[in-house]
Structure 1
């Protein structure tokens, strides 16, 4: 029964709790036991919430008393350690913030709790939530549950590993360029980076550069993403980017009233992509065609004119470097890890390059706007390769040698433009590792990509696989 609990999705757990087939205490205890059993090998968990079992007992009493229950009542969730949690340490992957305990929950955490969720633990990340591997001086390196010699990604790598390994059914991560979608791809789970501003970033650090940061749900089913997103989205009166009050629905199980038009794209525009990843994207596209969508290969000229990763790099260094400098001022070099030192050593972007990059970002937004005049969605890779070995700095991908930043080639355009993107597994590599695809929608069109993802999930042959731990 414990196996059934740890690999049930959050929606199913909520249903079993609501119908009294499971108690919140059983569910929380099963996940705590799982953490105790497998986390020593994975190192995804940074801090356990001391009151998780007590909160589960309170949730159980509410059921017995016949109180009104939230959609996630009694369901445990985990949170990346850059997101503030009241009374539970939030240390941001750095000795500089060791022992830091916030007094107030981030808006996203507060909303999960309001929906009835129970905070279970905080999960690992890179220093300052900044890199494609989850490794830092304070809590060490996280491993991929599919292969412990490989990374679960970054910066939400601890979160992705915890969910994939059955330590948590649902969690929150953040995304600057890749960080909920890439880790999901490396561990074979699902994640959603909604339209920029849909989910408030209040209570999350760093905020610079504010226009590229997102917070989003990570889970094992598309319906869980939809459920979590429905609870997380909306203004909070504090994050000035979170102003959208547009109505939306969960997008799962609701057929549109017309045939959807979907394009698929592997290259050019994202950098080199491994053949097995390209084949997975094409297979997903063909599956949607078989399911009734109009599907065809496409090109987006704006991506070919302005390489989004280069645009992002020129913009974000100028804006993020001061935040790093402020956080590390007066601190010993022994307290700084790889990425803080790297960021602080980078040359400032010249004003001319910064302005040119701003213009390029506008061209990219215009290019996607033109694309979405014709199409409802776009299918792309998430990563150009499956999960890689720890510490690799250069990769040969489809005959081209690139550095590790190129792993963000297909994800960072959505941060530069603010478009929503969903990462979901649809394939398996020749080494038995997950391969995800990315579904991209127009601004505020999360329901469209959630709907398409639910269709793909229903026909996927890999949705029920779990790491052998």
Structure 2
């Protein structure tokens, strides 16, 4: 039996039934990491093998602590896990060991997961390409010369290669969706507020980023989301989601899909992306789903201007102190400096105007959900690009005017905090994966996963694992 190919739900059930031990699972996990991680560089700060095997043995000696009992997990290197370094991909924090768990990490441990190390991320999570000066680049296992995406690139690669069965990630601008698409796995951005963040800094204004689950199946997304989600009394804007996993088997029926394609030509896409997505939409029609082409429901440029204003304001708020210290500023990547300088220059009037545009888009989107269960877009505008680049300078002959413009396609969900899940859509002519975003109404996380599960049962794309050995 290939333990590293089993889903988390299956593994957890076997551990609970004593059909497999946590030690056996840990040993298989560490052997897989030793075999493939040197090529892809997805897992960093790995704990010593003897220490991990002892923790797994303790798990075997205990009654199951929760739904993740005995399952290995590595934490995205933006979040604190006690006694592990949190570099954030920055030389400013390299080797800095966390004293305590962030709220989500504490929930994973309480549910029985064994934290084995960290997963790689871009510096401060900025940019959908996982490379940094501390741990280096993470490579796409379907073509080692290509980007793994980001910022949850390490997590996605670890899943695709069987080094993990579940992984946490975070998503401000597509960081749970883009790497999932480029590594043929599932990544879910939950409704904003469903998963608490660390109770630090401003708790009211910066409603953009959220943590969420990644996995090779929607069932495992649901398993992990039920652990991660739930209000935290230290945070004022939390959302209570009903448990998702118990409702996963409900047939979503004739799903109504609104296909937004390239937003009426506003979003340049690499050749072949729409063809692959179109084939996936044809499969959806074959499932009895109702797919309808949609005209652009909102001005794409107005949405983009709102996004980059609010994003820069958020980044400047969180990282401004590093910029103010000249000795630290020189160690910041250019994208971070650009974001901070833009954010610090924002006027109150500009921020208010951006928030008004965001509100207008929210109202327009809610009207669409009177007609559709989900809105669909590609999860990325380009195929995995050359890993030696910092970002693609053009798509289909269109110049990219910022380091993140090539990911504009993820903004419609991120700007207004809607739940979105990447579903694998297959492979292009070069053998590289691509995915579709399914975007739901606020709070429709369970329905989104029911739809994703129906798709998964019909396609099983993550079983097409990379040939990497």
Provide TM-score, normalisation by structure 2: 0.92
After superposition, give the CA deviation of every residue in 1:19-69 in whole Å (9 maximum; x if it has no partner). 22221111111111222222222111221134432221111112xxxx245
8 Å Cα contact 2:316/2:341 also seen in 1? no
Query: Does residue 366 in structure 1 map to residue 369 in structure 2?
Result: no
Distance 1:54 1:461 in 2: 35
Question: How has the CA–CA distance of structure 1 residues 343 and 400 changed in structure 2, closer, same or farther, with 3 Å as cutoff?
Answer: closer
Bigger shift: residues 216-225 or 288-297: 288-297
SS at match of 2:446: helix
> RMSD of aligned C-alpha atoms?
2.3
SS at match of 1:432: coil
After superposition, give the CA deviation of every residue in 1:270-306 in whole Å (9 maximum; x if it has no partner). 612234221233333332332223321123422x365
Distance 2:395 2:23 in 1: 47
Distance 1:405 1:438 in 2: 18
Query: Structure 2: 5+ residue runs without aligned partners?
Result: none
Structure 1 segments, 4+ long, off by >6 Å, are 203-209
Alignment of 1:5-404 (within 5 A): 5-50=3-48, 51-62=51-62, 67-202=63-198, 210-242=206-238, 244-250=239-245, 251-256=247-252, 259-268=254-263, 271-302=267-298, 304=299, 306-330=301-325, 331-346=327-342, 348-390=345-387, 391=389, 393-403=391-401, 404=403
SS at match of 2:437: strand
SS at match of 1:141: coil
Distance 2:71 2:453 in 1: 22
Question: How has the CA–CA distance of structure 1 residues 465 and 19 changed in structure 2, closer, same or farther, with 3 Å as cutoff?
Answer: same
Q: CA deviation at 1:451?
A: 1.0
Distance 1:207 1:139 in 2: 31
Q: CA deviation at 1:400?
A: 3.1
After superposition, give the CA deviation of every residue in 1:246-278 in whole Å (9 maximum; x if it has no partner). 42433422124x643221121226612234221
8 Å Cα contact 1:288/1:455 also seen in 2? no
Q: CA deviation at 1:92?
A: 1.2
Bigger shift: residues 15-24 or 397-406: 397-406
Q: CA deviation at 1:352?
A: 3.7
Question: How has the CA–CA distance of structure 1 residues 333 and 326 changed in structure 2, closer, same or farther, with 3 Å as cutoff?
Answer: closer
Q: What corresponds to 1:411 in structure 2?
A: 410
Question: How has the CA–CA distance of structure 1 residues 246 and 9 changed in structure 2, closer, same or farther, with 3 Å as cutoff?
Answer: closer
Q: CA deviation at 1:211?
A: 0.4
8 Å Cα contact 1:94/1:137 also seen in 2? yes
Bigger shift: residues 362-371 or 161-170: 161-170
Distance 1:276 1:395 in 2: 19
Query: Structure 1: 5+ residue runs without aligned partners?
Result: none
8 Å Cα contact 1:91/1:100 also seen in 2? yes
Q: CA deviation at 1:343?
A: 3.0
After superposition, give the CA deviation of every residue in 1:387-408 in whole Å (9 maximum; x if it has no partner). 1112154454345333552332
After superposition, give the CA deviation of every residue in 1:213-254 in whole Å (9 maximum; x if it has no partner). 100111111110011111111101122222x22424334221
8 Å Cα contact 2:12/2:68 also seen in 1? yes
Query: Does residue 459 in structure 1 map to residue 458 in structure 2?
Result: yes
Provide TM-score, normalisation by structure 1: 0.92
In the comparison of the two structures, how many residue pairs are matched? 460
8 Å Cα contact 1:170/1:219 also seen in 2? yes
8 Å Cα contact 1:84/1:203 also seen in 2? no
SS at match of 2:139: coil
Q: What corresponds to 2:427 in structure 1?
A: 428
SS at match of 1:212: coil
